[in-house]
Structure 1
Amino acid sequence: MPTLPAAVRVVRETAEMTFAEWGIGRTDPVMGPALLILSELVTNSVRHAAPRSPSLAVTFAAGATTLAFAVHDRHPDHPGVLAGAGGGGGLAVIAEVMAGSGGTSVVRRDPDGEGKSVWVTLPR
C-alpha cells in the first residue's frame, strides 16, 4: 500500500474486516488495543518512512490465544517500541497500550538493513 495518510484508514478497515472473518469482532477486548497500535504504527511509517519507503505492507495473523500483526516499511531507523518509547507521541501510546494489554513487540530488520517490520502480538 502507498505510504500516504489514507493508508491509516485503509489498514484499519482492512484489519477490522480480516479479524471479523476470523471471528474476532469489534466487541472483542483485543480489538481496541490492536486497532490503536496498528493505526499508530502505520501513522509512524507514513510520517517518517515515506520519503525512503513509497509503500508499506501489513501482515495479519491470529491463533486461539493470540492476535498478531506487522507493519513493514523500507526505512532503516528502529522505531524504539521495544525500549518503552519515552518522549511522547505515537510510540509512547504504543508502549502504554502494549504494557496495559500484556502484548509484546519485536522489530525485525530486513537482511539488507534498509527496512524493518514491527511485529506486535496481543493475548486474546
Structure 2
Amino acid sequence: MSQAPRALPHRHVLTLPAAPKAVRVARETAEQALVEWGIGLRHRVVDPALLILSELVTNSVRHAAHVSPEVTVIYAAARDCFAFAVHDRHPHQPHLRAAPAEPGGLATVMELVLGLGGTAVVRADADGEGKSIWITLPL
C-alpha cells in the first residue's frame, strides 16, 4: 500500500515575467528560502539543486515565453527534502526519461536528479495548456 503524499511545512511561491533575469531571481530566492528554512547553502544538495532550477527556468524562458508570459517557481522543504517546481503555460510536456543525450538542458537535469537520489515529474495543468516540472531531492 502506498502512502499519501505529505505536505511539506515550508513553502514559497514566486511568479516572474518569462525573461532572462528570471533565472537569477529564481536562484536568489531559492538561496534565501533555504537559509530561512535552516538548510545551509553548503549542503551537498544545494549547488546541484540551483543548477537544476536554473536549467528549468531557462527552458521556460527560452521555449515557453511566446505563449506563457510568466513563469512560476514553487519552493518547498522539510527536514529531509527540498522540492521545487517550475511552471509555465506552454502545453508541451517533455519526456524527462527520454531527455536527449546532448550536453545541458534536460539531460543534465535528469543526470543530477538521479545522481542525488531524487525524483522528477511532469504534471500537466488540469486544462492541458501548461505544466509544472517537479523536482524532489533528499537532504
Same topology, TM > 0.5: yes
Corresponding position: 1:12 with 2:12: no
Structure 1: gaps (5+ residues): none
Q: Distance in 2 between matches of 1:69 and 1:36?
A: 12
Calculate percent identity across the aligned residue pairs.
Answer: 60
Q: Distance in 2 between matches of 1:22 and 1:84?
A: 34
Q: Distance in 1 between matches of 2:40 and 2:47?
A: 10
Deviations 1:61-92 (A, max 9, x none): 101111100000000111222x1412323111
Higher strand share: 2
The residue aligned with 2:5 is none
Q: Distance in 2 between matches of 1:51 and 1:95?
A: 25
Is this contact kept in 2: 1:70–1:119, CA < 8 A? Answer: yes
Corresponding position: 1:74 with 2:74: no
RMSD of aligned residue pairs (Cα, Å): 0.9
What is the aligned counterpart of 2:130 among 115, 120, 123?
115
Q: Distance in 2 between matches of 1:15 and 1:64?
A: 16
Is this contact kept in 2: 1:68–1:119, CA < 8 A? Answer: yes
Which AA in structure 1 matches 2:85? A
Task: Quote how far apart the aligned CAs of 1:121 are.
Answer: 0.1
The residue aligned with 2:101 is 87
The residue aligned with 1:35 is 50
Q: Distance in 2 between matches of 1:29 and 1:70?
A: 20
Task: Quote how far apart the aligned CAs of 1:48 are.
Answer: 0.2
Q: Distance in 1 between matches of 2:86 and 2:68?
A: 12
Deviation beyond 2 Å, 4+ runs, structure 1? none
Give 1 or 2 for the bigger CA radius of gyration: 2
